[in-house]
Amino acid sequence: MKKFTAIFMIILTLFSTTGCKGTKTEIENLAVVMATGYDQLPGNKYLLTVQVLNPQKSSSGASGKEKVGGSQSTADVIIYSDTGASPAEAIAHLSTRIGKNLFFAHSKYTVIGKGLAEAGLATLIDSLLRGYVTRPDIPILVTKGNATDIVSSITSDDTIPANTVYRLIRQQSIMGYAPVQTRMNFANKLSSKTSAPIAGVINVNKNIYGTFEMEGTAVFKNDKLIGFLNKNQTRGVQWINGKVKGGNLLVPSQNNKIISFEILGSSSKVEAIKKNDSVMMLISIKEKSNIREMTGKLDPMEDEKIMDEFSKFQNETIQKEVKEALFVAQKELKADIFDFGEIVHKTYPNEWDKIGENWQNIFPLIEVKIMVDSSLERPGTISKPVK
């Protein structure tokens, strides 16, 4: 048995070695893209900006900016840009200019400039999903400025700026101040007759060099950008989706005092309920937290009712954020970013046959009931406030 195993391992090693022959040459002919940005130029042209790994990076690890072949470069990445009448043509032009095929499989994100988002993304999304080496789970972001400014920005904490943005994306998947939307999610919403696509918002932080601000939601109707939600309204959306898993909740209490709660997690359930001859939505949210900071004379360990009162304060604060999100979506943007239509369709298919065609007019008027149940786990290491 041992002899058989040894022979098998030798054969496997030989096949592995043969399979790797020429791999180095193939990699050298690829430009490994870490981040991609698209903007619109006059004449409906596309401006493509890519952040590519630098195969000749310096061993010193310096992060200074220099020029390489007319493109910006740091020690670890090179920024290239080119244009085309379509996204595919822009990629082809850039590949021809640098003499390498762009390899998108390791891309951390795709960012879209506001101008292009307002003009429409149907062509771009189609192009992003058709490429056989692109992943459908790559996050898609929108910036209020130009995408090229995001992709070409140098960050202070990483010589590969795409890694900084990727960490922000992961953090926001927990905090809930910006939705994490993939290309496939976005495309599915585009094909829906009722749901409105959304994307997270990212901008260059003008106050702190080498950093970004990732907060807020870009809202689309069909494939065109129609408006934004701020970060608190965005967290209202994420409370509804049950995706707020961490962060802080600032809650006003007695005597104009503020209590800070550490969010431990949340869950939600959205239901369609028949009410007389119409349909209403019921949103049930559960949240857990610990006390993070507090001032005043309240002592949770001395009086158990204080813990219940704190839970009530949290319920009211979460409800406020949810109501703000609902108001903007229903009354201002008139866009179903909550998938209410899909829920009604699945719950009451016969009723949907009657109202489905008119959902765009029904959604802004539909009644929504919000129920929040917050539970306070621990008051912290100390019980009574310091002051």
pLDDT tens over the chain, length 387 residues: 444 444 434 434 444 444 444 444 476 789 999 999 999 999 999 999 999 999 876 433 434 444 333 455 556 999 999 999 999 999 999 999 999 999 999 999 999 999 999 999 999 999 998 876 778 899 999 999 999 999 999 898 899 999 999 999 999 999 999 999 999 999 999 998 899 999 999 999 988 888 999 999 999 999 999 999 999 999 999 999 999 999 999 988 766 778 899 999 999 999 999 988 889 999 999 999 998 887 666 666 566 787 888 899 999 999 999 999 999 999 999 999 999 999 999 999 999 999 999 999 999 999 999 999 999 887 655 555 545
CATH of domain 232-378: 3.30.300.210
Pairing of strands 198-204, 212-221: antiparallel
154 three-state secondary structure: coil
Residue 374 burial (CB count, 10 A): 23
223 three-state secondary structure: coil
DSSP states of 74-104: -SSEEEEEEEESSHHHHHHHHHHHHTSEEE-
With vertex at residue 215, the alpha carbon angle to CA 213 and CA 217, rounded to the nearest 5 degrees, is 135
Distance CA 90, CA 47 (A): 7
* pLDDT at 219 (0 to 100): 98
Q: Give just the sign of the alpha carbon dihedral 344, 350, 353, 358.
A: negative
What helix, strand, coil percent values describe the chain, rounded to 5?
A: 40, 30, 30
* pLDDT at 339 (0 to 100): 96
Tokens of 206: 């003008």
Distance CA 313, CA 258 (A): 10
* pLDDT at 300 (0 to 100): 63
CA distances 124 to 22, 84, 127, 225, 311, Å, are 34, 12, 5, 14, 46
* pLDDT at 223 (0 to 100): 95
- The residue extents of the domains of the chain are 28-229, 232-378
**CB burial string 56-92: b at 16+ within 10 A, e below:** ebeeeeebeeeeeeebbbbbbbbbbbbebeebbbbbb
